Chain A
Amino acid sequence: QKEVEQNSGPLSVPEGAIASLNCTYSDRGSQSFFWYRQYSGKSPELIMFIYSNGDKEDGRFTAQLNKASQYVSLLIRDSQPSDSATYLCAVTGNAGKSTFGDGTTLTVKP
């Protein structure tokens, strides 16, 4: 079992729809959880981070964390074509080391 698993893609949604990206992790001692967006040929950039159970909202983005289920998700409301990218889930434990999932590629169709 991989340490961080993301739902297999690619994921395609129409413009204006909600995109749901999921991630599970194996280390119960994980302390912080990040979602990065990576455009093709570019470096990852932070979208959201979450530390505590529950929901965290930032504009059109909502991160959800359930430590009991070892599950973290990212919802993108009112998806736009500019949201088309690969989304990487990262889980951080000791020494600040992050373990990344393989990413889910999202395509938003106009």
Chain B
Amino acid sequence: NAGVTQTPKFRILKIGQSMTLQCTQDMNHNYMYWYRQDPGMGLKLIYYSVGAGITDKGEVPNGYNVSRSTTEDFPLRLELAAPSQTSVYFCATNPGVNTEAFFGQGTRLTVV
């Protein structure tokens, strides 16, 4: 039982490049989230999904896109990387409203 798996763990991107951060869960949770965490700060919600086929913007969605074609996968897409997107990205799931969140290991992204 792997829980929440994120890939890659580290990535360096050049300005203007694009990439997809992968998130897969085997917990059969409907709710999935993408957060970013800047140094010394808390987690900011980028996008979330309450089930397959349903996504919605969070607090800081600009520059990102998501899709949710299956319960298990919730990839985050960066189309035109900018230095402001340098951060640690966490994918999380929970089984329902007002329940504990389970986090992936994080992806440390640097845009140069």
Contact = CB atoms under 8 A, between A and B. Distances in A.
Interface size class of B (residues with CB under 8 A): 20 to 34
B41 A43 contact: no
A62 interface: no
Contact of B98 (A43, A51, A102): A51
Interface size class of A (residues with CB under 8 A): 20 to 34
Contacts of B97: 31, 92, 94-96
Given A43-B103, A43-B104, A102-B42, A97 B98 contact: no
Contact of B90 (A43, A46, A97, A101): A43
B48 A44 contact: no
Contact of B43 (A31, A49, A95, A100): A100
A98 interface: yes
Interface string B73-112: 0000000000000000010001011111101111000000
A32 interface: yes
A31 B98 CA distance: 7
